[in-house]
Amino acid sequence: MGSSTKERHRSGRASRPRNLMDIASSLRRGDFTIPALLETYLDRISEAEPQIGAFEHVAPDRARDAAAALDGLLRSGTDLGPLMGMPVAIKDIFAVEGMPVHAGSNIDVAEMIGPEGRFVGMLRRAGCILLGKARTVEFALGGAAGVNTRRGTPRNPRDGLVHRGCGGSSSGSAAAVAAGFAAFAVGSDTGGSVRIPASFCGLVGLKPTTGLWSTDGVFPLCETLDTVGLLTASVTDAATIFHALQGGECPPSRPVDHLRLGRLTGAFIDGLDAPVAAAFDAAIAALRAAGARIEDVAFPDFGRAEDFFHTIVPAEFIAGFGAQRFRALRTELGDDIAARGEAGLAVTAESYIAMQRRRRRLAAEAHSAIAGFDAWLAPAVDMLAPPVAALDDREAGTALNARIGRLTRPINLCDFCALSMPIGGAALPVGLQVMAPRGHDARLLSLAGELERELMPKI
């Protein structure tokens, strides 16, 4: 490449390489600069954000200042790693210094969130550029469809004709990545709020082991289950981010024909909409054809996962928010959120403790059952992304939200690490949920990377 051509690459807009490692390599080759990379994302935001509504707040001037500083560091020989210069969207339940935090509400809860926490600090130290705050369901409290009646509901970028939900509560984070507004996004997952948006938007949603990444500086919905998670374009990207933040080497991958996988049965395959069932069956068939050993597995009997979530989550939300404050401000909340919070007022200490004990017993059973398997597989959601209008009726919306989260919530309760990855075969995205025991996050990503390589060209 001649010097004049190289200079045009460096000063002009960057093309969009396939994954984060491609971007990192291109930056280090001098194909373009960090400021040029940033402008490609800001251009997309300028062009399409009015239609998508992914962001609560965008900070282009702060992002440009950060890009210029990081570019100077990289050119002077200071390399912070593969995430250096990557523009990131942050779910608006996280505190980010210099940006407002609304937690999807018109009520000021900044004091409950506190200052910027350790996870956002990790992103800064890795050289990420914090683009802005992505929209969320109010207080991240339920709302599996991703609807926010107070501050706006993002549009799923996968359908240009119908306003479909992105999934909640990390709806804006998913929309930002699916629309090409950010290299990756940060969300949180209490009952599926990373995996559901990933499934609806054709992304990878990583729910790590609970507690792996600190939740300080994050709105405290449910300390028992709240988990910081990622939304990315691929498993490869999720693994790149994970290892950049955690350190250590990626464990060696095992060929698909060396894997023993469990296909969850019962409620996990009953009642699937036809396009989801077909896509899931095609994925299982493709993996079997590649030599994977796949056995049917019954998930431990949790009863109704909703019973746990109707006890533990509202009780912990009210404990943090305050019962008196909730009663005083109830009318300022969205009706759906107020109803979910109201349930926490009726939870007794006896019922809360009994439910926690039951959850721990069942989690132990689930970990015993998964022993000997490399991972378990199931659909992430039993339907395609619904139109937002389908939730207009309160009773229908409540039932739909419960259904959307029914395949992800048991995984939070037993504290597996898990991810949703896109599989083809339907008009709209379908997510394959891959699950592994607590603490096996790196192995999960390595295995899912093998599944991604095997499945994506075929289905």
The residue annotated as part of the active site, out of 171, 173, 188, 193, is 193
- The count of other CB atoms within 10 Å of the CB of residue 337 is 23
Q: How far apart are CA 92 and CA 123, in angstroms?
A: 15
Ordered DSSP codes for 398-454? HHHHHHHTTTTHHHHHTT-EEEEEEE-SSSS-EEEEEEE-TT-HHHHHHHHHHHHHH
Amino acid letter for position 350: E
91 is catalytic: yes
Q: How far apart are CA 89 and CA 57, in angstroms?
A: 10
Give the DSSP letter of residue 331: G
Q: How far apart are CA 14 and CA 12, in angstroms?
A: 6
Reported as type and span, the H/E element at residue 306 is helix 305-321
The residue annotated as part of the active site, out of 169, 170, 188, 446, is 169
Phi, psi of 10 (to 5 degrees): -75, -35
Q: How far apart are CA 100 and CA 122, in angstroms?
A: 20
Amino acid letter for position 418: A
In this structure, are residues 123 and 83 in contact, taking their beta carbons and an 8 Å threshold? yes
Q: How far apart are CA 240 and CA 446, in angstroms?
A: 11
End-to-end CA distance of the chain: 38
Ordered DSSP codes for 142-193? S-TT---TTT--PPPTT-SSS-B---SSSHHHHHHHHTTS-SEEEEE-SSST
Sign of CA dihedral 409, 253, 204, 439: positive
- The count of other CB atoms within 10 Å of the CB of residue 160 is 8
- The count of other CB atoms within 10 Å of the CB of residue 249 is 7
Sign of CA dihedral 222, 224, 228, 229: negative
Structure tokens at 40: 């490609």
Residues catalogued as catalytic? 91, 169, 193
